[in-house]
Structure 1
Amino acid sequence: MEAREPIASDEQCPIETVIHVVGGKWKPTIMWHLLDSTMRFSELEKKIPNVTQKMLAQHLRELENQGIVTRTIYPSVPPKVEYSLSEYGRTLVPVLQSMCDWGRNHNRLASDMPNR
């Protein structure tokens, strides 16, 4: 298993730990897109059009440092770099699926509610 960046304390709230590792506006979306396929940076940019290159690169680097994402560099010209969920990152699939299910349900309920 890959080395992961340590969390501040063993006594830290588990929810804080999850937020530290996968929180932020783009990390769950990045992981969701990597669930079924390996992608290059440009492919992720196309899938997540509102993310800036700087934020995408930063979040990918943080996810890699946490052992969630694997970055593979191929020795070619031009260099080819691909990102995928690591084996450890795949342990988050149930969490991501629950988030997706909750979001779909929320959107459905919100669309059924009259405007206030």
Structure 2
Amino acid sequence: MKARVEADAKGRRHVHDACIEPCAIERGMRVIGGKWTGSVLWHLKDGPVRFNDLARMIGGASKKMITERLRQLEAQDLINRQVMDTAPVSVQYEITEFGRTALGFLEELRKWSESLPEDMVND
């Protein structure tokens, strides 16, 4: 449903028929907008990656945060977790076909981000 904005006699704006459910952008951001989520998916795009390698690729994120994000992404069927039968035991992660559907707009976000002025980016 599309929201309609009207002004009353005093010029005050009123919204009618607003969406009760979140809009498509908000829904998508709820899935992919968490801190480090896009980075995790991006670093898995070229194939399976072991946890410690992934942690090194994502500088600035704690292992605890990466673990939380990986669990969330696995629950959403965006990645698969595989325990390797090695000594010591290691775990690797791989993006799913569903997860790959996010790579197109992550690539566009990467391009857009690279075009931003340096002073616009706050670290």
Per the TM superposition, whether the score is higher than 0.5 is: yes
Percent of paired sites with the same residue: 36
- Please say which of residues 88-97 and 69-78 is displaced more in the overlay: 69-78
Match of 2:64 in 1: 54
Cα distance between partner residues in 1 of 2:33 and 2:104? 16
1:28 matched to 2:28: no
Residue identity opposite 2:72 in structure 1: E
Q: Against the structure 1 CA distance between its residues 23 and 112, is the aligned structure 2 distance closer, same or farther, given a 3 Å change threshold? A: closer
Cα distance between partner residues in 1 of 2:119 and 2:59? 28
Higher percent of residues as helix: 1
Match of 1:100 among 110, 113, 118: 110
Structure number with larger C-alpha Rg = 2
Match of 2:100 in 1: 90
Q: How many residues align?
A: 101
Aligned CA-pair RMSD: 2.0
1:75 matched to 2:113: no
TM-score (norm 2): 0.74
5+ residue gaps, structure 1, are 1-9
Specify which structure has the bigger relative contact order, considering alpha-carbon pairs within 8 angstroms and separated by 6 or more residues. 1
Match of 2:48 in 1: 38
Shift of 1:20: 1.1
TM-score (norm 1): 0.79
Higher percent of residues as strand: 2
Cα distance between partner residues in 1 of 2:51 and 2:119? 37
Cα distance between partner residues in 2 of 1:94 and 1:79? 33
